[in-house]
Amino acid sequence: MEDIVCIILAAGQGKRMQRGQKVLVKIQKKPMLGHVLEAVHAIGIKRVIVVVGHQKEGVEQYLEGWRKRLRIETVQQEKLRGTADAVRQTEKLLLNHEGDVLVLYGDTPLLTEQTLKRLLAEHRARNNYCTLLTTLMEDPTGYGRIVRDGRSDTVEKIVEEVDTTAEEKTVKEINVGVYCFRSRPLFEALKEVKPNNRKNEYYLTDTVAILSRKQKGVRTVLSGDRHEVLGVNSPIDLVKARNVFGRYKNPAKSSE
């Protein structure tokens, strides 16, 4: 997969985790970032850009052990101004890249290579500008909802919990933060993202509405198991991830 570059977002502070750099917290003797890298490596992607920020030295040190297996580059997000700003930091490294970009978070250790393969296959088969992974939750409170164009299967936008209408609150399909974009349309859309929230942050989710307005194909792949796409953002999430780890990964594999 020489024409796909993976961007892994690993700059956040993870304040609720109450321990060092979040993506370096271990599950089955391996940092969460390591599990994400394993999945990326397994599907044949050769080039990875890791966006670092908070406690970057530890992340950089850990990545040294991976450089013999993957072409890894890092770029720093100087100020933590949201996910869209984080991805924007990679643009200079991708000026000559005409293929696709897979965007992942470094705190999703249960994500499997099978699901990533399915996402990429759908992206290519449908010739989408953006394909995102979603899942269904009985109680979607707190998550971004997938709002579709009523005339087709394309996605119109992702609406964050605080901005949902009464009707949108009933939507059970949620965004999990795993995307595949065509490179050029992604960076063009990022230029239009505005900090329209109280935190003055730029959200990657806003690129979905931007691409949709331009009639660019934005579609989804559904993960049938919400545990697989669990993002570890708190000690409670960490306990959940450790409890279900064996369903998705082989705990007997050697640690990095």
The predicted structure's pLDDT at residue 16: 57
Distance, in Å, from the CA atom of 105 to the CA atom of 229, rounded to the nearest integer, reads 10
Residue 133 and residue 225 in contact, taking contact as beta carbons nearer than 8 Å: no
Tell me which of 152 and 43 has the higher pLDDT: 43
Distance, in Å, from the CA atom of 93 to the CA atom of 60, rounded to the nearest integer, reads 17
Distance, in Å, from the CA atom of 144 to the CA atom of 161, rounded to the nearest integer, reads 6
- Per the listing, tokens 């609406």 go with 159
- SS percent in the chain: helix, strand, coil, step 5: 35, 25, 45
Span 236-251, pLDDT tens digits: 888 888 888 877 665 4
How far lies 114's CA from each of 39, 151, 171, in Å?
Answer: 9, 30, 26
**Given a cut of 70, is residue 254 above it in pLDDT?**
no
- Mean per-residue pLDDT of the chain: 89
The predicted structure's pLDDT at residue 28: 85
Residue 225 and residue 137 in contact, taking contact as beta carbons nearer than 8 Å: no
Residue 118 and residue 165 in contact, taking contact as beta carbons nearer than 8 Å: no
Of 131-135, 198-202, 226-230, 246-250, the one with minimum mean pLDDT is: 246-250
- Per the listing, tokens 């989408």 go with 128
The predicted structure's pLDDT at residue 251: 43
**Given a cut of 90, is residue 160 above it in pLDDT?**
no
**Given a cut of 80, is residue 175 above it in pLDDT?**
yes
Residues of the chain above pLDDT 90, percent: 69
Number of C-alpha atoms within 13 angstroms, CB side, residue 48? 30
Strand segments, DSSP code E, in 32-183 are: 47-52, 71-76, 100-105, 130-136, 145-148, 155-159, 173-182
Residue 16 and residue 100 in contact, taking contact as beta carbons nearer than 8 Å: no
Task: Using pLDDT thresholds of 50, 70 and 90, give the confidence band for residue 178.
Answer: very high
Mean per-residue pLDDT, 205-216? 91
The predicted structure's pLDDT at residue 249: 60
The predicted structure's pLDDT at residue 89: 97
Tell me which of 117 and 28 has the higher pLDDT: 117
**Given a cut of 90, is residue 72 above it in pLDDT?**
yes
pTM over 0.75: yes
